[in-house]
Structure 1
Amino acid sequence: MAKLKLQEIERVSTISKQDFLEKYFKKQKPVVIEKLTEDWDAFQKWHLDYIKEIAGDKIVPLYDDRPVTHKDGFNQAHAKMKMSDYIKLLQTKPTNYRIFLYNLMKEVPSLQNDFKWPDIGLKLVKQLPMLFFGGENSKVFMHFDIDYSNILHFHFHGKKQCILFDPRQTPYMYKIPHSLITREDIDFDNPDFKKWPALQYAKGYICNLNHGEVLYMPEGYWHYMKYLTPGFSMSLRAFPSKLSNLAKAAYNVTIMRHFDNLMRKIQGQKWIDNKNKKAIINTHNKLKLH
């Protein structure tokens, strides 16, 4: 069975602001902090039944793992459902439906009282505490974030697996041009190195997040997430610290995504198919793999 070159992400029980900044933020190195949330109300309360109780009547956007087509808008939902029905589905059987980048706290402001903004040296953007939900074995395709944020990713209810790659590994990742994703037909749990030979050279990180633990993902890191059990996560974000990454973020938000949407309208599925082909050609040409 093919295996990616992955090392376990470092873990600390707790951490001071100084240590976090020196050892992880300045070095742009991921870390799992195990006990950062233990004095939060969320640590006791944030389980699926609690969310169902306080937000069950909300209509939520759902995403699955179907490949992108030219008909899809940028981050366009595939379905909608009442939160109570969705959580019942999560608790009943495995499902590919996920909630992605959802500002539930805007809909249910009382959730904002359940957590504290961590004081570990990141200037966190207060408007953007986003929530993510998934069923057992549902997957979030390999991607990096459009805004190149530094991310604190908190997990609640169960267990979630995270695979990360430093941006310097991008030449091996089969990145789709004019997008934030890799080829969607790559199985990062069991990659086919005959089909995707460049992945043999990629060096990444892996961790399993348990209830209440937080993963620090440095700016621009590739990430692939798999829900080992039904659960949900919250991301807090800080703007990129490097000027080069700020410039990339600005380009992605103001130009890249609009250009991509325009080309989907003009060329249709041909645009998507050509991008998928170029991901292979570009990767293999850079590495002289044919």
Structure 2
Amino acid sequence: MFCVSKLAFLIFHTTLWHVEPAESDDPPGHLKPFGNHMPPFEIDVIDTPPTPQEFLDKYIKVNKPVVIKGAAKVFDIFKTWKDDEYLRKKYGKWISPIELAKIESGPEGLIARMPFSWFLSNYKKKDLAILRDIASTNPMRDEISVLKSMSCGGFKDLLTDVIFIFSSGSGESAIHWDPAENMHCLLDGTKDWAIIHRKDRHILPKSKESSMYTSVNQSSIDMYNYPVMQDIPWYHAFIEAGDCIFVPNSSPHYVRSGDSRNMAISVWFVVPGSLNLTDCPEDEADLPDSAPVGRGHVSRLDHIKSMVYMLINDRSGNISLPTFIENGVGLYQLEEFGYMIFEAIDENEDEVITSEEIEALTDVSEEFWNVFSDNKKEYFVIEENGNIKDMIKKEEL
């Protein structure tokens, strides 16, 4: 069984976060990074990964974040991927999309395509980062594993993305949220997380460019222009190399990395109303410490069902049309698509979706699936010598 750690986890002077007292009559946190407006709630910290059933019941179903100390140290890549020459030899020819900045200002960053070997030669001296889904064809995926919490029960068949995150450190995300569950395991460096419960997501001012981003400057929040930011409760988590953090779907978060080499894997997955855990061993001691990710990928049908279940806080019961539209911001491109999805599932037209109606879905048309498509970013090619002046717009990857 796992237990809550007794570590003194929220000692601010050991982290990037410094909640400073107000030095003027300005509102707390004015023109400071998010998290300076009020003290955080303490996040659960456990020393042993939960079993698949415990993970489902105690964290996923109730949308509760948790830090699992040292969990990633069982992965082979925890050692091998610390070596840039190992990565260069195995994956140097990968033409990788590279973020041309380490500070995220919103959903539309400038992205270039270049050999991974070029990145490895330049990331320590330029503002570069990789934030890339390698779920489909990239051979790096074959070295990645999941924790024993996801080693059985069908978790590996519900993956939507396997995201590789890599920089020299000192990176910073915008305040945003993701339409999937996220098991984020840190292989190198440190990170500070500020996480907002998904039930408070509607308070945040929305960006005009993306429904999954806020319009505030996460590094310097103007509390006069955005007074609602003064009242947002948040969780703080400091993680170091070897730790994993579970971030529930649709939970806004803001992440700052330490100033040294920083590498992580984020496994995104969806969860339907229930999981078939019959393939899990009866004795939890027989669970493996980790299991290869493999090539499993969620089906379109399960993906749609799971995204609808996400909108129901306990993944069971009913959801009304107004709640569906409010909670669904970010899962589809336009609000009108939300109404279209609801009408397609609400067979008896009573403006309430039940779990029985969700399970009655048997087919997903191309048109229905496309409403969940993300807005595509554009990529550029950079010459091998690193000249950025001759960028050429290319097709999306």
- 2:78, 2:200 → 1: CA distance? 35
Q: Which runs of 5+ in 2 are unaligned?
A: 1-19, 21-28, 30-35, 273-305, 312-323, 334-368, 377-397
Residue type matched to 1:140 in 2? Answer: S
Is 1:84 the equivalent of 2:117? yes
Native 8 Å contact 1:99 1:133 kept in 2: yes
Q: Which structure would you say has the larger RCO, counting Cα contacts within 8 Å and 6 or more residues apart?
A: 1
- 2:263, 2:136 → 1: CA distance? 14
Is 1:118 the equivalent of 2:148? yes
Native 8 Å contact 2:105 2:217 kept in 1: no
1:7 to 35, 41, 47: 41
- 1:250, 1:199 → 2: CA distance? 23
Give the secondary-structure state (helix, strand or coil) at the position aligned to 1:142: coil
1:251 to 332, 337, 340: 332
- Structure 2 partner of 1:202: 232
* 1:57 Cα offset (Å): 2.5
Give the secondary-structure state (helix, strand or coil) at the position aligned to 2:155: coil
* 1:169 Cα offset (Å): 1.6
* 1:90 Cα offset (Å): 2.9
Native 8 Å contact 2:44 2:66 kept in 1: yes
- 2:240, 2:269 → 1: CA distance? 23
2:54 to 10, 15, 19: 19
Aligned Cα root-mean-square deviation (Å): 3.1
- Structure 2 partner of 1:169: 200
- 2:148, 2:108 → 1: CA distance? 28
Q: TM-score by structure 1 length?
A: 0.72
Native 8 Å contact 2:175 2:213 kept in 1: yes
- 1:233, 1:84 → 2: CA distance? 18
- Structure 2 partner of 1:288: none
Native 8 Å contact 2:193 2:253 kept in 1: yes
Give the secondary-structure state (helix, strand or coil) at the position aligned to 1:140: coil
Give the secondary-structure state (helix, strand or coil) at the position aligned to 2:124: helix
Moved more, 74-83 or 229-238: 74-83
- 1:163, 1:15 → 2: CA distance? 21
Pairing of 1:1-290 with structure 2 (within 5 A): 1=20, 2=29, 3-5=36-38, 6-17=40-51, 18-47=53-82, 49=84, 50-63=86-99, 64=101, 65=103, 78-92=111-125, 95=127, 97-103=128-134, 106-109=137-140, 111-116=141-146, 118-120=148-150, 123-124=155-156, 125-126=158-159, 128-145=161-178, 148-177=179-208, 179-183=211-215, 185-188=216-219, 190-228=220-258, 229-241=260-272, 243=308, 245=310, 248=328, 251-252=332-333, 254-255=370-371
Give the secondary-structure state (helix, strand or coil) at the position aligned to 2:161: coil
- 2:134, 2:372 → 1: CA distance? 24
Give the secondary-structure state (helix, strand or coil) at the position aligned to 1:106: coil
Moved more, 9-18 or 198-207: 9-18
- 1:48, 1:194 → 2: CA distance? 47
- 1:194, 1:122 → 2: CA distance? 48
- Structure 1 partner of 2:302: none
Native 8 Å contact 1:99 1:132 kept in 2: yes
Native 8 Å contact 1:144 1:221 kept in 2: yes
- Structure 2 partner of 1:277: none
- 1:53, 1:159 → 2: CA distance? 26
* 1:11 Cα offset (Å): 1.1
- 1:115, 1:187 → 2: CA distance? 32
- 1:88, 1:129 → 2: CA distance? 24
* 1:114 Cα offset (Å): 4.7
More helix, by proportion: 1
Give the secondary-structure state (helix, strand or coil) at the position aligned to 2:268: strand
Change (3 A) 1:105 1:226: farther
Residue type matched to 2:48 in 1? Answer: T
Q: TM-score by structure 2 length?
A: 0.54
* 1:173 Cα offset (Å): 1.6
Residue type matched to 2:310 in 1? Answer: N
The CA deviation string for residues 233-260 of structure 1, in whole angstroms up to 9 with x for no partner, is 11112215473536737634743767x7
Give the secondary-structure state (helix, strand or coil) at the position aligned to 1:27: coil
